[in-house]
């Protein structure tokens, strides 16, 4: 069966680097290209957010190198990670750079690919399911729903300094994006919520935190902008987390398919017939 599935897929050649997205957690969300790469690579340089179950698909004898970057904890420098990929490729290794989610969505894949170009290392990009879409789907929250929104904004909750990005137009996002999906935002959610409320969002707007998305440890907290900081602190939940702001959070009452497998009774009308208006 596996020979049939992988027939015709590309070969990971010696001296090449593949930048591959592993998806948000569940190994079943790996693409065929990702699984094919795992079965060929000599060295797998992986992030902290790559599920260990995904790494079990590595070929026997493959070397696993951890290169995780976690906010507030000792981490390898990005430049060092990029140069390590160059070093391994020049040594004739078949190199898989495995990143959680999608390498080009807040994954620094572009920076690493530019280093490979600079050093004339051949490479391939393999997209993955980003947590801001796949992780929310596992929580029963769609990023778009035509009764709610015709636009969505993805943003990061901190910049390279670890602070809330000051180049984000919070006023513009607050007034123009009906749904906001945030990566790495839990630590600064108090400041972010205040910025959005100051920009015109209702303090009672629904917010959800999806922690350890698409894994057996997934946990979801539903709250509001006004209570987000206090509720997430009281919950004891920890990153990694995706945070979503908007009326789509209410759809979880109907679409929490994982909860339904555990006995949750889903409702047919999550909006209780209230009138919705896309503010964008």
Burial class (CB in 10 A: 0-12, 13-18, 19+), 52: exposed
Task: Look at the pTM and tell me if it is higher than 0.75.
Answer: yes
Q: Which residues contact 20 (CB under 8 A, 6 or more apart)?
A: 33, 34, 37, 96, 97, 98, 99, 103, 126, 128
Domain limits, CATH 3.40.1010.10, in the chain = 2-129
Are 44 and 38 in contact by the 8 Å Cβ rule? The answer is yes
Bond before 28 cis per omega within 30 degrees: no
Eight-state DSSP code of residue 138: H
Mean pLDDT of 178-202: 97
Closest CA to 45 of 83, 81, 93: 81
Q: Which residues contact 176 (CB under 8 A, 6 or more apart)?
A: 151, 279, 280
Please identify every residue annotated as catalytic. Answer: 47, 69, 184
Per-residue b or e along 140-172, where b marks 16 or more CB atoms closer than 10 Å to that residue's CB: bbbbebeebbeebbbbebbeeeeebeeebebee
Domain limits, CATH 3.30.950.10, in the chain = 132-276
Confidence of residue 72 (pLDDT cuts 50, 70, 90): low
Longest CA span, the chain: 63
**Which CATH number is 132-276's, of 3.30.950.10, 3.40.109.10, 3.50.50.60, 3.20.20.70?**
3.30.950.10
Confidence of residue 271 (pLDDT cuts 50, 70, 90): confident
Q: Which residues contact 169 (CB under 8 A, 6 or more apart)?
A: none
Other Cβ atoms within 10 Å of 116 Cβ, number: 20
Confidence of residue 162 (pLDDT cuts 50, 70, 90): confident
Interatomic CA distance for residues 19 and 17, integer angstroms: 6
pLDDT above 70 as % of the chain: 94
- pLDDT of 2 reads 63
pLDDT value at 31 more than 60: yes
CATH number for the segment(s) 2-129: 3.40.1010.10
């Amino acid at each position: 069966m596996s020979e049939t599935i992988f027939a015709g897929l590309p070969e990971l050649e010696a001296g090449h680097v593949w930048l591959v997205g592993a998806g948000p957690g569940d190994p079943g969300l790996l693409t065929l290209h990702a699984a094919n790469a795992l079965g060929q690579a000599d060295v797998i340089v992986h992030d902290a957010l790559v599920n260990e179950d995904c790494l079990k698909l590595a070929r026997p004898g493959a070397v696993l190198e951890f290169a995780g970057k976690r906010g507030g904890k000792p981490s390898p420098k990005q430049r060092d990670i990029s140069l390590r990929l160059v070093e391994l490729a020049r040594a004739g290794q078949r190199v898989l750079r495995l990143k959680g989610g999608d390498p080009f969505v807040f994954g620094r894949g572009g920076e690493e690919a530019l280093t490979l170009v600079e050093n004339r290392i051949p490479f391939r990009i393999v997209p993955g399911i980003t947590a801001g879409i796949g992780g929310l789907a596992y929580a029963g929250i769609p990023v778009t729903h035509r009764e709610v929104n015709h636009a969505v904004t993805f943003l990061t909750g901190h910049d390279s300094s670890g602070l809330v990005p000051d180049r984000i137009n919070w006023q513009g996002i607050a007034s123009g994006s009906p749904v906001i999906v945030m990566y790495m935002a839990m630590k600064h959610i108090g400041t972010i919520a205040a910025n959005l409320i100051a920009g015109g969002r209702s303090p009672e707007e629904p917010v959800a935190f999806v922690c350890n998305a698409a894994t057996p440890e997934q946990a979801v907290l539903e709250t509001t902008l006004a209570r987000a900081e206090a509720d997430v602190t009281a919950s004891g939940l920890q990153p990694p987390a995706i945070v979503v702001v908007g009326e789509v959070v209410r759809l979880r009452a109907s679409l929490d398919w994982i909860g339904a497998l555990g006995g949750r009774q889903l409702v047919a009308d999550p909006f209780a017939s209230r009138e919705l208006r896309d503010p964008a």
